[in-house]
Structure 1
Amino acid sequence: MDRSGIHTNRNFLLLWSGNATSLVGFHGVRIAYPLLALTVTGSPAAAGWVGFALSVPSLIFQIPAGVVADCSDRLRTLLLCQVIGLTATCLAAVAVAAQLSGLGQLLGAAAFVEGSVYVFLGLSELAAVRDLVTLAQRPAAFSFLEAEQPIAILVGRAAGAAIYGVARWLPFAANAVSYLYCFATLVLIRSNSSRSYADESADRSVGRNIAAGVRVVWTEPFLRVSTAMIGGSNIVIQVVLLLILVELKRGGHPAWTVGVVLGTAGVGGVLGAAAASWVTRRIPPRLVYRGALWAWTALLVPIALSANTIVLAVCWGAIGGVGVVSNVALTLCRVEVIPEHTLGRTVAAMAIVCDGAVAIGALGAGYLLSTVGIVTTRWTALAAMCTLAVYATIRTAARTTAQR
């Protein structure tokens, strides 16, 4: 195997192309689920519940998925995930096409299953890369993985919303095809790994793993504050996402317009990934993280003032780009302060807070919009993000002063 280029690694390219395609399908239905719930019920709260069902598995299954990725055959786990996800999305497609009674509950159940599959897929794919690439190829391989999300968000949201406008069941059918394609690519992988997963399972106490990670986060001031700030900003971003969706839908815009506007986060993410290395080499990572909160605050001002689709698209795309740059900066800080032997458990503990906030934000956004309306929700989101930026600035400034 040519160690100089990841493009020569057939197994990795099969893994990446299959999972990237599956991720595109997932983001297609991720926008179709709340759109359909909003259309069927006319209630933003119902759309929020479906978004919650998609996101809450990241809170529930983060640690179990990590244990499975460490202790089980990763390729078998990925194959099983495709089968389970395929079953859920096919049931959703049938329910939508047949207009079955209790459609809202069926969508919520299918969304929960697909959200759960997404958690296990992500961690098992990351672990599988270590089995399929050489040490020399790992930097390129992980760069490919970093690009998956923004590309999938861009293509999946735009395509999902567009074909939803053709037929409501079509995004689920397309998602089923993506699962089948991913399953086929995984079957074609021939791993030479002789790794023994049983040897790694000697100490997998979930409680002990969580406690070890939480202890590191709690004792390191920057990790403690930044984790809380990320959780808070994730809640606000979820509110803004549903706000844009509801605002465009009630404004009479076609479904493809919703997909294009929300898909600009993927464009911003790709640009952010390209710029992140340059930015973090020139600006201290902690300053980048603090600046991201202020940048998000500034970008929410036009969203609070205007419902123009171009304004929403530009600002939402910029929010996605800032998010990727911020994530890279935070990763650099974490690697610097977290002891190497607890890195995985500590990141998992932070993920419980950050991903759990996404679920809470998706659910709360629906009720906030239903209770106070679009205009008040706009200004509430702006005020909340500004509060986070001010608090983070004060805390980090106090920390810097104390270290002098």
Structure 2
Amino acid sequence: MAAVHARSESYEAKIAEGRTAIAALQPERAARSFREAANLRTEEIEPLLLLAEAYRIAGNEGPAILALKEAEAISPGNDPTIQKQMADLYRRGGHTEQAISTLVVLRDTQQLTDPELLSLARLQARQGSLDEAFKSLEPIQKARPDDADAKVVEAEILLLKGEELLAARLMDRLITENPGLMEARMLRVRYFLNSGFTAEAEQDLLTLAEEDAARPEVILLHARILNRLERPAEADTLLSKLVAAEPTGVEALAMLAETKLLLGQNKEAQGLVDKVLRLRSRFPRALYVRARALEAQGDKDGAVENYSYALSSDPRFAPALSRMWRIHRDAGHKMEAMASLEKIFFIGEASLEEKVALAQMYAESKIHLERGRKLIDEALAREPGNPDYVAIKAALTEAMPRKKKPKGPIILRGGR
């Protein structure tokens, strides 16, 4: 009896030890503690779920998935908790199709919450499965047709469908009716930014209440806008305050490193990159900043290697994709360039220049012609008569399959 009690105490101690290590940003140490706890109670799934989370924080998606599969073997029957965590790991590791298929099973058995349905719809839309994305929204919209959060996701899907006018009207209506709806405001700001209306994006952001403007994700987006407006000194001030408040916030540290690079402070940028990579060894923005520095020094091979590292960590990381499609294009690798552009487009991060480039590639390769037409029509709506855009549209139209004329005599039927 005493041995059982001691074993129980040891198990609880290992769990507590692991949680403390997670809080101290030491996921490798946490993983060791959770593994020891799992060995003490082989019938429990909790330490394995915690072990998977520790591996995920450390950036080790493979071992994390194995830990979840181990938990699944203990608790057979597609435990929703395990399946949801598995889907999250698949998504983070870039295995988006596996994440979606796992979540669709949960959706079809009505085991997803409304926020999880919205996340699934976004994920499907960004993979180009727009009809499936609308299907994931259906349960919410049937129960509550005017649900504001679902309408935000609907607007995002409409943007990806190329229905820019409908999406813009929906975003405007949502913000008018729900001034405090942050998701709608942030979607419109990102839409302005990606569409080249950078000043309008900043103006929209400046209308936020003081409390909302102080949120880390808003500060990061504001810094991104300031950098795009070639005002990196202001971005530096914003980010330095955020880093002072959150010294281990890797996103803020990496964005500050990028800003230092724009300011020509390469040594400071490298120091920040090194700090981020000590905290998160495969953090994509830090690897991207290192790649930008190498590219600026003329080391294209080193740059490509680090862009590739960033994309292996997060295959949907738009800044690295945005550099890689250009590198592929300049090297004459048209299909690779097109694939990178499509990824940027389907995550809703494509600039107008990138949409035009993608439309041109579709025209040249004679594929996805309807999508190409929508992309170039969007560009022509901004710049009617632009000769390059007109030429791309003509090429897309020329490549479109023509309707076959009926053969044989045409018989007209009708009453007298």
Give the shorter-chain TM-score range.
Answer: under 0.3
Larger Rg: 2
Structure number with higher relative contact order (C-alpha < 8 Å, ≥ 6 residues apart): 1
Task: Give TM-score, length-normalised by structure 1.
Answer: 0.23
**Higher normalized helix content (fraction of residues):** 1
